[in-house]
Structure 1
Amino acid sequence: MPGPYVVRVNGDENLPEKVDVVVIGGGIIGTSTALELAERGQKVALCEKGGIGQEQSSRNWGWVRISRRDPREVPLMAEALRIWSGFDKRLGRDTGYKRAGIIFACPDDKSYEEHESWGKNLEGYQLPSRMVSGAELDALLPGGNMKLKGALYTPADGRAEPQKAAPAVAEAARDKGAAILTECAVRGIETSGGKVSGVVTERGRIACDAVVLAGGAWSNLFCGLYGIDLPQLKVMNTVLRTKPLEGGPEAALWSKDFAIRKRQDGGYTIASGHENIVDIVPKSFRYALNFLPALKMEWSSLSFRFGGRFFEEARMPARWNMDEASPFEYNRVLDPKPSLDMSNKAFNGLKAAFPVFNKAEIAQRWAGYIDVTPDAIPVISAVDQIPGFHIATGFSGHGFGIGPAAGRLMADIVTGRSPVVDPTDFRFSRFSDGTKVRPLSGF
């Protein structure tokens, strides 16, 4: 089953001989990084093995949220909300962004107290967020019949269209002088004097002084070529979208059974609120201890399966020569088959809670691989082992909304500017410096 339709970005025909920075990966993180660098006068080449935004950047829910974030991400997400508010004007293109609010449903006292406690993370940010209940909550969820203690409602949150956003950012980066190279996999990096001096792509070499790896679920494989151990696994999430429907809620809504977002076309994006599939692969065993704290916290929401993906990854080479095709050229787009059971369960739960959705027609289903780290927060960092090499990956399902600010922070690090937020929590070295690496909450 094909993934969602993504606005097409035609890649440049000519490969630049030399740039300041090569960005590997054309999702929301890579394109945002390229835009920030290009706007600062850096010569940039963005290399994408497939098409811009074809993987998880176009397959996510489309939420732009600060609510229920890991507290370590809150400062960066606050910056992201500021960027999104003027993003379309800055890009000169439509991302579908709208500040429409997000509601997190609380069915009982325990859930209510947890969400109310989380709200303290926004103190000092002047971002509207509050607990709601009774008539106020009913007004936010017209036509609903959910039995709720209350909800966390954050009007500052919003939504955008994943199938539009990364392409819009890539085109804006090109407007600023960046080279946008699609179907141009980077096979590896070159060094001179121990520092980055270039990359080798399937179309030839590009000299550069810095590289940013924003490769999403592929980042671990790329890093392994240089003995850099990036603990990263994949989780599969399934999404469906409906045709336009009148009468549904305007604000996005999360509950345990389902999560929904109104789309720009009047339809809805629908997914399970907590269920995901984990394919057991060879690296599942390698990183089992790293991910044990997260597994204990999220065990009830994960469905483990053993199947074809194990053998696909087992056959995938860990090393290759620069003059031969890399694994990135044999699989241009990760396009897993969606789980009908999970999406039907979410859809049926939604119809029970909001009878208007009994009239909704399913337009499409798709799935995507979320790349996760053991502590469920990203790596946005230089890599000490190879001066000039940087990583921006591992966003653990939180990357779409935070992407523009992550790109800004990565550009700050690459160019040596004072960082927009303290990047300490996102440093790559946390996996090897004795830090206790684990999620801070079940959110």
Structure 2
Amino acid sequence: MSRLPERADAVVIGGGVIGASTAFRLAESGVGTVLLERGELGSGSSRNTAGVVRTYFPGNALISSLAVRSLADYRALGERTGADLGLKKIGFLVLFTDEREVRDFRQTRDAQRAAGVDVELVTAAEAAQLNPLVDERAILAAAWSPQAYACDSVSIVRAYAAAAQRAGATLHTDAPVTAIDPDGRVHTPAGSILADTVVCAAGPWAKTVAAMADVTVPVTPYPVELLLADHPGGAPQKALPMTMHPSGLRIRSWEDRILVGMGAPAPDETRQDWLGRVSQQLGTAFPSLAGVSIESGWGGNLDLSPDGMAFIGRDPARPFVYAAGFSGQGLCQAPAAGEIVRDLVLGKESWIDTTGLSTARRLDGRAGTG
């Protein structure tokens, strides 16, 4: 790693999509920015997702508003930099199996549309047309949002990192943070740097990093494993949309196979038992996939918050800003999160009311990943 400068206006800890987006926003605003990444850029939770950028987040219009703004910024990033972000429209389908789910959708649809989300209620037959693996006899209806894109998360991280460097930021990989002093001095094995503001975008390591600065960010590393399955009867004519079943099972096309997600083994569950549970649920939700063989794709840790919604805020007692706990949804919110962090660092009013995003909110919601 190259030598660290003696000081910086802002030191961003974490080189995933949140950190890279934040470093870019800070640097383009004239903030002297240094980014520190413990490994390689995009090597953490940014690559441990299903690689989908979407705008519809059922039951949470605030996240949806961040996602809508972020999708627009991804499009602008590709146009501005010429980088291929791998954006391919696939759509997002949420299946409903009971009347409560349909009722909840109707009650929240206006808030979602006000946030800029294109989403509608479709019949079971229409859902089966959108995803031929859906058994229309097993569902009542579905929510359909065409605003969902498969993407290349590593390319996105690299594009933001390159844009940040062009704007004047310096990036240091293989630079794990080992301590943070009360005055904002950040220590690494290669030296230390004094920061006017420390920004924690460390994903699954955010709680540990924040604790170094005597700040509490209640984020827990949450293991996930994504699986691959073969299509029944060969590859389909068109890509399957990302499809979410009420059980938490999610599928989408991945090249000529099917990507399957349903968390990871429970603490008291063997991996073999978990694979059996996933296989059983897969066959129940999508009967044509009953009995298909599934194998490991990739996995790692996500940064989980207690209620499944990110923490973005500023510690009231220290020059310490945090953006973590995205619970698998960071790829969908990173550009907007970067803007919010920039405004917190600069002391500016943000484009959105961020009160509900800080760690001060009451955390009595049920955890979940996106």
TM bucket normalised to smaller: 0.7 to 0.9
How many residues are aligned here?
362
TM, length-normalised to structure 2: 0.86
1:8-407 maps to which residues of 2 (within 5 A)?
13-67=2-56, 68=58, 70-146=60-136, 147-192=138-183, 196=184, 198-241=185-228, 246-247=235-236, 249-255=239-245, 256=247, 258-263=249-254, 265-272=255-262, 275-277=263-265, 303-305=266-268, 339-343=271-275, 345-347=277-279, 349-350=281-282, 353=286, 355=288, 362=295, 364-386=296-318, 388-407=319-338
1:439 alignment counterpart: 365
SS in 1 for 2:93: strand
SS in 1 for 2:345: helix
**Structure 1 residue 355 displacement after superposition:** 3.5
How far has the Cα of 1:243 moved from its partner? Answer: 7.8
Once the two structures are superposed, residues 333-356 of structure 1 have per-residue CA deviations (whole angstroms, 9 ceiling, x without a partner) of xxxxx9454355435644672637
Pair 356,373 (structure 1): closer, same or farther in 2 beyond 3 Å = closer
Q: Deviations over 1:205-241 (max 9, x none)?
A: 2233111011112121222234323223232222124
Amino acid at match of 1:395: F
- Does the Cα contact within 8 Å between 2:97 and 2:140 map onto a contact in 1? yes
Secondary structure of the 2:8 match is coil
Shift of residue 32 of structure 1? 0.9
Structure 1 residue 440, shift from structure 2 partner: 7.5
- Answer yes or no: is the 8 Å Cα contact 2:308–2:367 preserved in 1: no
* Aligned partner of residue 252 in structure 2, secondary structure: strand
Tell me the residue number matched to 2:339: 408
Q: Say if 1:339 and 1:56 are closer, same or farther in 2 by CA, change over 3 A.
A: farther
What secondary structure, in the 3-state scheme, does the structure 2 residue paired with 1:46 have?
strand
| 8 A contact 2:227–2:260 mirrored in 1 | yes
> Quick one: structure 1 residues 135 and 243, their matched pair in 2 at CA, closer, same or farther if it must change by over 3 Å?
closer
CA distance in 1 between partners of 2:221 and 2:114 (Å): 35
CA gap 1:234/1:155 in 2 versus in 1, 3 angstroms: same
The structural deviation recorded for 1:380 is 1.0
- Residue 352 of structure 2 is matched in structure 1 by 421
Secondary structure of the equivalent of 1:367?
strand
| Other-structure match for 1:295 | none
Q: Distance in 2 between matches of 1:229 and 1:371?
A: 14
Per-residue deviation, 1:390? 0.9
Amino acid across the alignment from 2:214:
G
Say which SS state the counterpart of residue 143 (structure 2) adopts.
Answer: strand
Evaluate the alpha carbon distance shift between residue 69 and residue 276 of structure 1 in structure 2; reply closer, same or farther with a 3 A threshold. Answer: farther
CA distance in 1 between partners of 2:216 and 2:192 (Å): 25
Paired residue type of 1:215: A
SS of residue paired to 1:228: coil
CA distance in 1, matches of 2:290, 2:338: 37
| Partner residue in 2 for 1:320 | none
Give, in angstroms, the shift of residue 441 of structure 1: 9.2
Q: CA RMSD in A?
A: 2.9
Same amino acid, percent of matched pairs:
25
With over 3 angstroms needed to count, the CA separation of the structure-2 counterparts of 1:123 and 1:143, relative to structure 1, is: closer
Matched residue of 1:366: which SS?
Answer: strand
Deviation at 1:271, TM superposition (A): 0.8
For 2:316, the aligned partner's letter is D
Q: Distance in 1 between matches of 2:304 and 2:113?
A: 28
Is the contact between residue 227 and residue 294 of structure 2 (CA under 8 Å) also seen in structure 1? no
Distance of aligned partners of 1:128 and 1:236 in 2 relative to their CA distance in 1, 3 Å threshold: same
The structure-2 alpha-carbon separation of the partners of 1:180 and 1:241, relative to structure 1 and needing over 3 Å to count, comes to farther
Runs of 5+ consecutive residues of structure 1 not aligned to the other structure: 1-11, 278-302, 307-337, 431-435
Is the Cα contact below 8 Å between 1:29 and 1:403 reproduced in 2? Answer: yes
Using a 3 Å threshold, how does the CA distance of structure 1 residues 340 and 32 change in structure 2: closer, same or farther? farther
SS in structure 2 at match of 1:365: strand
